[in-house]
Amino acid sequence: MTDLLTDHAFQDTYPEELSHCYGCGSSNPHGLHLRSTWDGDETVATFTPQPYHTALPGFVYGGLIASLIDCHGTGSASAAAYRAEGRAPGSDPALRFVTASLHVDFLRPTPLGPPLTVRGRIEEVKERKVVVSLSVAAGDQICATGRVVAVRLPASMAPPPPA
Ligand X SMILES: CCCCCCCCCCCC(=O)SCCNC(=O)CCNC(=O)[C@H](O)C(C)(C)COP(=O)(O)OP(=O)(O)OC[C@H]1O[C@@H](n2cnc3c(N)ncnc32)[C@H](O)[C@@H]1OP(=O)(O)O
| Closer of 59 and 99 to ligand X (Cβ) | 99
One character per residue 91-130, x = contact with ligand X (rule: CB under 6 A): ---xxx-xxxx------------------------x-xx-
Non-local (6+) Cβ contacts of 63 within 8 A are none
Give SS3 for 134: strand
- Provide the strand spans (E) within 2-108: 36-39, 42-47, 97-106
Q: Which of 84, 88, 67 is nearest to 131 (CA)?
A: 84
Nearer of residues 58 and 124 to ligand X, judged by Cβ: 124
Cα-Cα end-to-end distance for the chain: 32
> Which one among 36, 37, 43, 74 touches ligand X, defined by CB under 6 A?
74
38 binds ligand X (CB under 6 A): no
Strand-pairing partners, residue 116, are 47, 138
Site size toward ligand X, by CB under 6 A: 22
Asked if 14 is part of the footprint of ligand X (rule: CB under 6 A), the reply reads yes
Binding site for ligand X (CB under 6 A): 14, 18, 21, 23, 70-71, 74, 78, 94-96, 98-101, 126, 128-129, 149, 151, 154, 157
